[in-house]
Amino acid sequence: MVAAVRVHKPGGPEALTYEDIDVGAPSPGQIRIKKHACGINFIDVYFRTGMYPAPSSPFVVGNEGAGEVVAVGDGVKDFKVGDRVAYVAGPGGYTAERLLPADRAVKLPDSISYEQAAGMMLKGMTAQYLVRHVHKVQKGDTILVHAAAGGVGLILCQWGKHLGATVIGTVGSKEKATLAKKNGADHTILYREEDFAARVKDITGGKLCHVVYDGVGKSTFPASLDCIRPLGMFASFGSASGPIEAFNIGILAQKGSLFATRPTLNTYTASRQDLLATAKDLFDVVSSGAVKIPINQKYPLKDAQKAHRDLESRATTGSSILIP
């Protein structure tokens, strides 16, 4: 038996139950991992509340982590006991040990620690596909990052700056503004107090942004569209404030023939080849020092409820991890 955090019935943070579970031996194609750190993400909240359907009942929360391989199932060729690995996968993460399809695991280079990996596989690979694929950030671009001091936000700010963009970040407090600036944001906007679209217009001299990276959702829509120059991209990748309601697609024409997408990491890393390429790009940029992974909250596994309360109340910055 190993320690885990499960949800028996969707609900608030109190739905997270710390208990022992039986993990079992890996089936063919699976590996068993002893976790050194588990990543915490907003998607864990969506699963906990039932906004995303539970994979089973009860289920172990958490989609990201890092650790060492302790057993391999039949047919697994790429991994052996003792390998250092990290992953993003379906729920099952907040636990001391877990089973995982081997084709979702990635070997960790020596330059990346377990804690860094747990703090960046989901958030960092998301930042990777956003700046490399959804809109290929070029030198001279102007990009807007909402919730710039958050987990994905701080990585996006650094990566965007590294690629030569002018980075504008919206943040919920002055402290978060200072942090975003330390991590690559050229300009910050206190979007709870200021009209962020008007400020973006001001900052860019009316030229607006090539892309808006929006993980906030409901509360920043449709004003985000007013921050985008004609033919620019609206990348709506999350719903921290709630989902965006149905809208008339004609609004994209009115705002200047905009592109809009609602991408997911799952799609961008669906094939093994894409997963490995995305992870490699992330490992390279982090190993080079160009992008740092600020792990600003670390909790014992048993304190998952507190970790969720902090995340949902906007009390966290950068990445959060649980230590089994």
Residues that bind ligand NAP (CB under 6 A): 41-43, 122-123, 126, 147, 149-153, 171-172, 176, 215-216, 219, 237-241, 263-265, 311-312, 314, 316
Contacts of 110 (CB under 8 A, 6+ apart): none
Q: Which is nearer to ligand NAP, 69 or 125 (CB)?
A: 125
Report the relative pairing of strands 84-88 and 319-323 from DSSP bridges.
Answer: unpaired
Q: Which is nearer to ligand NAP, 171 or 208 (CB)?
A: 171
Write the DSSP string, 174-233.
HHHHHHHHHTT-SEEEETTTS-HHHHHHHHTTT--EEEEEESS-GGGTTGGGGGEEEEEE
Q: Rounded CA gap, 89 and 129, in Å?
A: 17
Closest distance between ligand NAP and the C-beta of residue 57, in Å? 22
Closest distance between ligand NAP and the C-beta of residue 163, in Å? 19
Q: Which is nearer to ligand NAP, 35 or 123 (CB)?
A: 123
Q: Which is nearer to ligand NAP, 26 or 294 (CB)?
A: 294
Closest distance between ligand NAP and the C-beta of residue 312, in Å? 6
Closest distance between ligand NAP and the C-beta of residue 74, in Å? 32
The answer to whether residues 145 and 160 touch, using CB atoms and an 8 Å cutoff, is yes
Tokens (6 digits) for 213: 């990276």
What CA–CA distances, in Å, run from 215 to 10, 138, 218?
Answer: 23, 21, 9
Q: Where are the beta strands (DSSP E) in 8-117?
A: 16-21, 30-40, 59-60, 64-72, 84-88, 97-101, 105-107
Closest distance between ligand NAP and the C-beta of residue 169, in Å? 9
Q: Which is nearer to ligand NAP, 135 or 176 (CB)?
A: 176
Q: Rounded CA gap, 297 and 239, in Å?
A: 21
Q: Which is nearer to ligand NAP, 40 or 102 (CB)?
A: 40
Closest distance between ligand NAP and the C-beta of residue 292, in Å? 15
Write the DSSP string, 100-124.
EEGGGEEEPPTTS-HHHHHHHHHHH
Contacts of 305 (CB under 8 A, 6+ apart): 13, 14, 16
Cβ atoms < 10 Å from Cβ of 69: 22
Closest distance between ligand NAP and the C-beta of residue 211, in Å? 15
Rg value, the chain, Cα: 20
Closest distance between ligand NAP and the C-beta of residue 26, in Å? 27
Q: Which is nearer to ligand NAP, 43 or 163 (CB)?
A: 43
Q: Which is nearer to ligand NAP, 99 or 240 (CB)?
A: 240
